[in-house]
Amino acid sequence: MGLEDMQARVHANKQLFENLWLMELECPSVAANIMPGQFVHLEVPDLQANILRRPFSIFDRDEDAGTVEVLYQAVGTGTRAMRTWEPGLVTRMIGCIGRPWEVPYDTERALLVGGGVGAAPLNLLCQELMASDVGVDVILGAQTEGALVCRARYERTCGREPACSTDDGTYGREGFATVLVEEALARAQAEGRPYDYAAVCGPEPLMRAASQLLMEAGVRCQVSLERRMACGVGACLSCVVDTASGKKRACVDGPIFDAEEVLWR
């Protein structure tokens, strides 16, 4: 599937918690073709001083309605400007970019670990795994209860609540999500149904620690990496990631990488 630069119309844009926002955009081609883990490169119009597009993973899609959802954290000039977008605003996005999650065909049980907005690119994967009858366990971590904005969506997808942790202990286990990863590994082992595959997305220290635990337990693990990006199509070599086989582009050689090939920063 080739890349396209498409029009995208804002349908809804709402604040979920503090700087966490959810935007619904109409873009039928992306809604139809996005594969879990891929991303779009979104133009932020009318920012004269900020000329680059911004990369966002797709949190959810409605193929019949031709819409996709983007979960974003308003942290810089671009994402702060996006908070002001009203329904009807038309922008452009390039899609669908990058290597998707690659779940081995014989996977029977998978573990998904999302930290903060890192929960977003795992949701479509969760849906796909559930649809193909793979056993899925989900772990979500966030700073505080209110920031666990994906919890309800995962509960709907999985039919049960994901295991949660918060840094401040306001919801679920207090501390980092890695504690829950260790517990999940032990439980799966005890049940005699170990994980065949794990997908991790979140802050890099979390991805590094969680993937290490998972790989030590013999689980094939993939991570979704992010780097400062310019072109988003593989040309500029801005977003390179150090891997065991040299520098790779986060945009088109990733964003999904096998954890074992990543040389962490």
Partner 1 sequence: MALMNVDLGGLSMKNPVTVASGTFAAGREYADFVDVAKLGAVTTKGVSLNGWEGNPGVRIAETPSGILNSIGLQNPGVEHLKEHDLPWLSGQGATVIVNVSGHSVQEYVSVIEALEESPVGAYEINISCPNVDAGGMAMGCSCASVEEVVGRCRTATERPLIVKLTPNVTDVTEIARAAEASGADALSLINTLLGMAVDIRTRRSVFSRVVGGLSGPAVRPVALRMVWQCSGAVSIPLLGMGGIATAEDAISFMLAGATAVAVGTANFANPHAAADVVDGIQAWCEEEGVEDVNELIGGLIC
Residues in the site for partner 1, rule: CB under 8 A?
2-5, 43, 48-53, 77, 94, 228-240, 242, 246-247, 252
Distance CA 224, CA 101 (A): 8
Distances (CA, A) of 72 to 43, 126, 264: 14, 19, 24
Beta carbons of 30 and 2 less than 8 angstroms apart: no
Q: Which is nearer to partner 1, 3 or 16 (CB)?
A: 3
Please, what is the minimum distance in Å from the beta carbon of residue 83 to partner 1? 18
Q: Which is nearer to partner 1, 42 or 70 (CB)?
A: 42
Please, what is the minimum distance in Å from the beta carbon of residue 124 to partner 1? 22
Q: Which is nearer to partner 1, 74 or 240 (CB)?
A: 240
Pick from 87, 96, 7, 94: which is nearest to 42 by CA?
Answer: 94
Q: Which is nearer to partner 1, 135 or 234 (CB)?
A: 234
Number of continuous H segments (helices) and E segments (strands) in the chain: 6, 16
Distance CA 15, CA 45 (A): 20
Please, what is the minimum distance in Å from the beta carbon of residue 98 to partner 1? 13
Please, what is the minimum distance in Å from the beta carbon of residue 4 to partner 1? 7
Please, what is the minimum distance in Å from the beta carbon of residue 59 to partner 1? 24
Please, what is the minimum distance in Å from the beta carbon of residue 237 to partner 1? 5
Report phi then psi at 74, rounded to 5.
-80, 100
Q: Which is nearer to partner 1, 78 or 146 (CB)?
A: 78
Q: Which is nearer to partner 1, 44 or 177 (CB)?
A: 44
